[in-house]
């Protein structure tokens, strides 16, 4: 797999992501899938759903944000996650 390819977040096939810097880890793919399903979810709820620590989710979300995959819009509790990559 080339650096500009990543597994389809719906696990259907491989997608090329424009200007993508790093491949997503399995946990990051799961985080993004959850965000796609429920954009207003909190880090605590993601951690509970995936049965990992909130610190682990925070670390991975920080990396996803630094690599322009997602961003948080609004406040922590009332805001939502915005996906910044094109999955088509």
Cα-based distances in Å from 26 to 16, 22, 76, 78, 85: 17, 13, 24, 27, 17
Q: Please state the pTM of the whole predicted model.
A: 0.73
Give the bridge partners for 80, in sequence order.
73
Q: 39 CB contacts (<8 Å, ≥6 apart)?
A: 80, 81, 82
Q: What is the DSSP letter of 20?
A: -
Name the residue with tokens 């200007």: 19
Give the tens place of pLDDT for each residue, 6-46: 444 444 333 433 345 568 899 999 999 999 999 999 999 99
Under a CB-based contact definition with an 8 Å cutoff, are residues 38 and 46 in contact?
no
Give pLDDT, residue 8.
47
For the chain, list the domains and their CATH numbers.
Answer: 5-83 (1.10.10.10)
């Amino acid at each position: 797999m080339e650096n500009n390819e990543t597994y389809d977040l719906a696990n259907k096939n491989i997608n090329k992501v424009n200007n993508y810097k790093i491949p997503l880890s399995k946990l990051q793919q799961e985080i993004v899938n959850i965000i796609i399903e429920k954009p207003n979810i909190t880090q605590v709820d993601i951690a509970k759903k995936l049965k990992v620590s909130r610190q682990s989710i925070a670390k991975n979300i920080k990396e996803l944000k630094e690599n322009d995959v997602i961003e948080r819009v609004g406040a922590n509790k009332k805001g939502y996650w915005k996906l910044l990559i094109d999955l088509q």
